[in-house]
Structure 1
Amino acid sequence: MYKKILLTGLALSMAVPAFAEVTIGLPEDVNLLLVNGTEPEIDGGFFSSSSTAILPDGENQIVFRYVPSFKQGQEFEKMNSDVIVAKFTAENEKLEFEFPKYRNIRDAQRFNNNPDWKLVNESNQAIDITQDKLVYEGMQIGRDYEAEMIKFNAAGGAAAIATTNSAAYAAVTAAQASGQKVTVVPVAETAAATNATPTQLPETTAGTTEEEMLMFWYSKADDATKARFKAYVNSQ
């Protein structure tokens, strides 16, 4: 009887499907900045030689820099590429970055003019990606990539994805473009506010669709997003 129970339990454990997810191996020459608009989930740590990014199944967006190093005399020089934004769709796959073989830093600088890279699966087949650049004029140190990606996704380019933050930004932009004065009214963090629909939110003076959208998405955001959003509105 004991053996039968043991075998049955083993059979059941084998029948349970594994949790599906997408992983991307992170080589030392890739600086992964964001995944789907937020800080990436890294298995192994940023400084591990075998770091892996964990993403959900389906459509994903990654933001990264290509940062290869080359030996120059007794020292190493690092090339920092432009910021790349890429969108792709994958299901339960292990992916790896693949870049051209550059001989030196001058050779690698060609990457900015032609970002020729791939995401390949375990069969060494490249998956379809749509890419763009996150262009920022001015000081590159201290960039707020999350804020930049809110604007990028709201603009709806080829590599953009739909996010709560981008929807809120689009609503504000539309309201401002129509000449309306936008005032951010904090919504209490209660279950009622979280589950509210646009018509259940506090009425605004103008009562426009844009304002209703703004209030709705604001109620869904976390405290950090609300703070960034208010800072953006107050800076306009």
Structure 2
Amino acid sequence: MKTVATLLSGLFLAANAHAAITINIPDNVQVLAVNAEKPDVEGGIFSSIKSLTLADGENQVVFRYTPYFSQGNDRVIVESNPVITKFTANNQELSLDLPEYRNEREAEKQIKNWQVVLVDQQNQPLTIAQDALRKDGMQIGRDFVQESKEYNRTNGVAALTSASAVAVTLPANIKVDSNTAEEMLHFWYQKADAETKAKFKQYINQQ
């Protein structure tokens, strides 16, 4: 009988052999959720640029733009609304093209209409479906992972399709190549829900 690693790594490594979408994240942008799960953004706390690594294909990311301004000895931060985005990319390095505001007053007037713009290394914009992730009432302590899941059930313009229900963020310590089948096996198995795990086991037992 074939091993679990052989069976499942074949399924997932084939789909993710070039899982190399990298998004450069400046320090004035927050990544609040990725594919309806907690984001895994790489980079130190004092890094001016961090990075988010995603699998090839369709992904959903919730961003918030937080430009800051000096006011005497203080730093004043202006926040945009959280924006939920959906896009498809393959083996690309992407960056955020952010608007610049002259001062806090201008930012407060214009940031409510902020739209996410992702550009490739040739500075060409990526096609993005996006929507404001709104919530009535108190905004402190929001659960953006849960809000993303609820948004996906509404079939909004930036909702994930059913085929994308499993998050595709890759952990930083996994390098996708032919020698990491077992690591990928454990990673994808843990990401699966109970029903999918049962299907995996049934498939394996039939081999």
TM-score range, shorter chain: 0.5 to 0.7
| Paired residues, number | 158
3-state SS, counterpart of residue 113 of structure 2:
coil
Cα distance, 1:144 vs structure 2:
1.2
Match of 1:36 in 2: 35
Match of 1:106 in 2: 105
Task: Give the Cα separation in 2 of the matches to 1:50 and 1:192.
Answer: 39
Cα distance, 1:49 vs structure 2:
2.3
1:72 aligns with 2:102: no
> Which stretches of structure 1, 4 residues or longer, exceed 6 Å deviation after superposition?
164-167
Cα distance, 1:194 vs structure 2:
3.0
Match of 2:148 in 1: 149
Relative to structure 1, is the Cα distance of residues 46 and 92 closer, same or farther in structure 2, using a 3 angstrom cutoff?
farther
Identify unmatched segments of 5+ residues in structure 2.
Answer: 1-16, 167-193, 203-207
Give the conservation status (yes or no) of the 8 Å contact 1:22–1:55. yes
3-state SS, counterpart of residue 145 of structure 2:
helix
TM-score by length of 2: 0.68
Relative to structure 1, is the Cα distance of residues 115 and 138 closer, same or farther in structure 2, using a 3 angstrom cutoff?
same
Higher relative contact order at CA 8 Å, sep ≥6: structure 1 or structure 2? 2
The structure where strand makes up a greater share of residues is 2
Cα distance, 1:45 vs structure 2:
3.9
Cα distance, 1:24 vs structure 2:
0.5
Task: Give the Cα separation in 1 of the matches to 2:42 and 2:126.
Answer: 22
3-state SS, counterpart of residue 148 of structure 2:
helix
Give the fraction of aligned pairs with identical amino acids, expressed as a percent.
41
Which deviates the most, 43-52 or 148-157?
43-52
Match of 1:60 in 2: 59
3-state SS, counterpart of residue 134 of structure 2:
coil
- CA RMSD, 1 decimal: 2.8
Task: Give the Cα separation in 1 of the matches to 2:124 and 2:68.
Answer: 26
Identify unmatched segments of 5+ residues in structure 1.
Answer: 1-17, 168-190, 201-236
TM-score by length of 1: 0.60
The structure whose Rg is larger is 1
Give the conservation status (yes or no) of the 8 Å contact 1:153–1:166. no
Which deviates the most, 103-112 or 29-38?
103-112
In the TM superposition, what are the counterparts of 1:217-232 in structure 2 within 5 Å?
Answer: none
The structure where helix makes up a greater share of residues is 1
Give the conservation status (yes or no) of the 8 Å contact 1:33–1:65. yes
